[in-house]
Amino acid sequence: MEDIKSVTEPIEKEKAWEDLGRPEPTIQYSYTVIVDRDGAIHTQVSEPSDKVSRRANTFDIYSTCKDLVSDIESQLLADRVARAVVSSLQPADSAKELRERLMSALSDRGIETPGA
């Protein structure tokens, strides 16, 4: 049997799909976000094809953008929490801490230590 990729005539392609069974599209809908140099934002909706089931509508674009923003915010929050936990787990420099406490105690008693 001929490979479907080697068939170039549209009618032959359709006959080959009838014989083989057309695969279901793997992408529900698709769109591209375009940002111009002046900052204008546009969306370009993909037409249905062998890979795309249907055109994206306004709600599809809105909901997927909202989901993306939520995912990014969650990642940023997780990153902040991870940095806070890692910094609290790092051992404190006891010599530096002791020096700071000594400087503070001397300063409280009015003793200046400019060279320290």
Compute the distance between CA of residue 58 and CA of residue 43 in angstroms, rounded to an integer.
10
pLDDT at 53 over 70: yes
Q: Give the pTM.
A: 0.55
pLDDT at 25 over 70: yes
pLDDT at 23 over 90: no
Domain boundaries, the chain: 25-55, 57-109
Instruction: Kindly compute the dihedral angle of the four CA atoms of residues 79, 81, 84, 87, in this order, to the nearest 10 degrees.
Output: -60
Cα torsion angle, 80, 86, 89, 94, sign: negative
Burial status of residue 50 (CB atoms within 10 A of its CB: 0-12, 13-18, 19 or more): exposed
Confidence category of residue 1, pLDDT binned at 50, 70, 90: very low
pLDDT at 40: 96
Tokens standing for residue 94: 């006891």
Tens digits of per-residue pLDDT, 62-82?
999 999 999 999 999 999 999
